[in-house]
Chain A
Amino acid sequence: MCGIAGLIYKGKSANVGAEMTAMLQALKHRGPDSTGYAVYGEGSDGNYVMRLKAAEAEDMHRGRGIYQILDERIAAVDAILAEHGADVKLKDRVTDYALRYVLSHDGDTGKMAEHIEEIDGVEILSLGNGLELIKDLGDASDVAGLYSLNDFSGTHGIGHTRMATESDVDIKSAHPYWAFPYNDVSVVHNGQITNYWLMRREMERKGHRFMSNCDSELLAVYTAHNLANGMTLEESLRRSIEEIDGVFTYLVATKDQLGMAKDTMAAKPLVLYESDDLIAMASEEVAIRAILPQEIDTYDPYDEEIRVWQA
Chain B
Amino acid sequence: MAGVTDAQLKEMSQEERVKALGMTTEQLTGKSLYIEFDPDAEERFIYPWAPDVDFNKRTEIDTDEMSTTQVNTRISELMAEGFGTIVLKNPRGKHSIGVGILSKLNLIIEGSCGYFAVGLLDGPNVRINGRVGWSCGENMMSGTIMIEKNAGSTFGAALRGGDLVCRGSVGSRTGIDQKGGTIIVGGDTGALSGFMMQRGRIVVCGNAGKNLGDSMYDGTIFVGGDIQSLGVDAVEAELTDLDRAWLTRKLTQYDLMPGRGVDHFTKIVAGKQLWNYDNLEPNEKKLIL
Question: What are 21 A-B contacts defined by CB distance under 8 Å?
Answer: A265-B192, A266-B153, A266-B172, A269-B133, A269-B134, A269-B152, A271-B152, A285-B113, A285-B133, A286-B92, A286-B94, A288-B93, A295-B130, A298-B149, A299-B131, A300-B170, A302-B209, A303-B172, A303-B190, A303-B191, A303-B209
Does residue A297 face the partner (Cβ distance < 8 Å to B)?
yes
The answer to whether B171 and A300 have CB atoms under 8 Å apart is yes
The B contact surface, by secondary structure, is: loop
Q: Find chain A residues with CB under 8 A from B114 CB.
A: 284-286
Nearest 8 A/B pairs, CB to CB: A285-B93, A286-B93, A300-B171, A266-B172, A289-B93, A289-B92, A303-B191, A299-B150
* B153 partner residues in chain A, CB cutoff 8 A: 266, 269, 300
A293 interface contact, C-beta 8 A: yes
Q: Count B interface residues, CB 8 Å.
A: 29
Residue B210 interfacial (CB < 8 Å): yes
A residues in contact with B170, CB < 8 Å: 300
A266 touches B150 (CB 8 A): no
Is B210 in contact with A303, judged by CB distance below 8 angstroms?
Answer: yes
Q: Are A271 and B133 CB-contacts (below 8 A) given A285-B93, A286-B114, A295-B112?
A: yes
Interface string of A271-311 (1 = CB under 8 A from B): 10000000000001111110001011111101100000000
Interchain nearest-CB distance for A230 vs B (Å): 31
List of A residues within 8 angstroms of B169 by Cβ: 299
Residues of B within 8 A of A (CB): 90, 92-95, 111-115, 130-131, 133-134, 149-150, 152-153, 168-173, 190-192, 209-210
Task: Let me know if B134 and A302 touch, CB within 8 A.
Answer: no
Q: Considering the complex, give the chain A residue whose CB is closest to the CB of B110.
A: A295
Cα separation A244 to B130 with both chains bound (whole Å): 35
Whether the pair A266, B191 counts as a contact (CB closer than 8 A) is yes
| Chain A residues with CB under 8 A of B133 | 269, 271, 284-285
Residues on A with beta carbons closer than 8 Å to the beta carbon of B168: 299
Q: CA A51 – CA B30 in complex, angstroms? A: 60
The distance from the CB of B172 to the nearest CB of chain A, in whole angstroms, is: 4
Contact of A302 among B95, B112, B113, B171 (CB under 8 A): B171
CA separation between A297 and B149, bound complex, in Å? 7
In-complex Cβ contact of B115 among A266, A284, A295 (8 A): A284
Residue ID in chain A nearest B94 by CB atoms: A286
Taking CB as reference atom, which chain A residue is nearest B149?
A: A297
Q: Give A50-98 interface residues, CB cut-off 8 Å to B.
A: none
